[in-house]
Amino acid sequence: MVRHYQIEGRVQGVGFRWFVHREAAELGLRGWVRNTTAGHVEAVAAGSADQIDVLEVALHKGSRGSRVDRVHIHDLQDSEAEDLKAFVIEGAF
């Protein structure tokens, strides 16, 4: 299962990407998370339905200091996961 997420709210500058990375890595998901220029966070995650369900609960809850107003979820084709490696934060230095 592969899903794309756009998370809206106070999710930049509060450690939200690191939170998503930790949750996804602990679950063994593949994919990435990054900030958008619009002030949101987006992510792509690939794994089993159970792993994805657990991640989605975490995304709605958010990290300490964040405020999640909305999570947009889009299913992607399984083929989108072919090039995904271990979960990473894109754009982090």
Element (H, E) at 24: helix 16-27
Q: Output the six-digit token pair for 77.
A: 């084709």
Instruction: Let me know if 35 is a catalytic residue.
Output: yes
Of 3, 30, 35, 67, the active-site residue reads 35
Distances (CA, A) of 16 to 1, 40, 42, 46, 78: 23, 10, 11, 19, 26
Element (H, E) at 57: helix 49-61
Of 3, 17, 34, 64, the active-site residue reads 17
Instruction: Let me know if 17 is a catalytic residue.
Output: yes
Q: Which residues are catalytic?
A: 17, 35
